[in-house]
A = this chain, B = another copy of it.
Amino acid sequence: MIGGWEDIRAEVLRRISTQEWPAGVLIPTEEALAQEFGCARATVSRALRELAQAGVVERRRKAGTRVAVLPVRRATLEIPVIRQEVQARGQAHGFQLLRAERLAPPVPVASRLGLAAQDPLWYLETLHLADGQPFVFETRWLNPAILPAVMPDFTALSVNEWLVKNVSYASGDIAFSAAGATAREAEVLGVAAGAALFITERSTWRAEAAITFVRLAHAPGYRVQTVV
């Protein structure tokens, strides 16, 4: 059967991709489309809202809906927990806590978390393994204020997973980049110094309070992939 909001979304997308409605032009109002398709305005609204979320059209009150001039495609990436990512490849996950100490953070880290550089934070180095091979080297700065009185045993449960279980659904930002392996990264991952590594950096807050900053140096060959 036809007429659902998904069909309407598909039809509108078709008219846009065939240039029937070229980039930049106003498309008919919800009411006009509802009449054309013989459905309620809410149904058209739902379809157009989804297209707006995908970046295909831009909507503004009173101004109407227009085809996006610059098709800024939005891709959604899934950011899984490392253990899960390893297991999804059919490999066994393991990890070693290489270092855990209190240190004053370097200035870039402190500023990114919005903390004074003198405040000592927990500094943790963890190496994650896939089938015993180095998979990703995690260096993490952790705000001690968010930890309970007794420090959890991070040799048994990875910091990552402790965090998602205990301070989950915080907000933050992620950045991806490439960098040559530092001496330490080369040593731990077993690659040559300067080898191209995929780097994920993530900082996390909860209600204005900084929680953690983590840098993941992935072993060579790592890719992050998604469909558009």
Q: In the docked arrangement, what's the CA distance between A79 and B222, Å?
A: 20
The residue from B73, B171, B177 contacting A222, defined by CB atoms under 8 A apart: B177
Binds B, one of A95-103, A132-140, A150-158, A161-169: A161-169
Q: A23-B165, A76-B75, A194-B194 are in contact. Are A228 and B70 (CB under 8 A)?
A: no
| A81 sits at the interface (CB 8 A) | yes
A31-39, A118-126, A195-203: which lies at the B interface?
A195-203
- Size range of the interface on A? 35 or more
The interface residues of chain B lying within 8 Å CB-to-CB of A165 are 23
> Which residues from chain B contact A116 at a C-beta distance below 8 Å?
none
- Per the bound structure, the CA–CA distance linking A119 and B36 in Å amounts to 44
B79 x A75 contact (CB < 8 A): yes
Contacts of A74 in B (CB 8 A): 76-79
Asked whether, in the complex, the Cβ of B223 is within 8 Å of the Cβ of A198, the reply is no
A59 to B214, CA, bound (A): 31
Contacting pair B17 A168 (CB below 8 A): yes
Assembly CA distance A175 to B81 (angstroms): 19
Assess whether B71 is in contact with A174, with CB atoms less than 8 Å apart.
Answer: no
A174 touches B225 (CB 8 A): yes
The A70-97 residues at the B interface (CB cut-off 8 A) are: 70-81, 84
Q: Complex: how many Å from CA A84 to CA B55?
A: 15
- Give the interface centre of A170, A175, A177 by most chain B CB atoms within 10 Å: A177
Residue of B nearest to A207 (CB): B17
Q: How far is the CB of A38 from chain B (nearest CB, A)?
A: 22
How far in angstroms is the closest Cβ of chain B from A220? Answer: 8
Q: How far is the CB of A85 from chain B (nearest CB, A)?
A: 10
B71 touches A84 (CB 8 A): no
Instruction: For A73, list chain B residues within 8 Å (CB).
Output: 78-79
Using CB atoms and an 8 Å cutoff, list the residues of chain A in contact with chain B.
Answer: 13, 16-17, 23, 55-56, 70-81, 84, 164-165, 167-180, 194-199, 206, 218, 220-228
A-B residue pairs in contact (CB < 8 Å), sample of 13: A56-B169, A72-B80, A73-B79, A74-B76, A74-B78, A75-B79, A173-B227, A173-B228, A175-B226, A177-B221, A178-B198, A178-B220, A196-B196
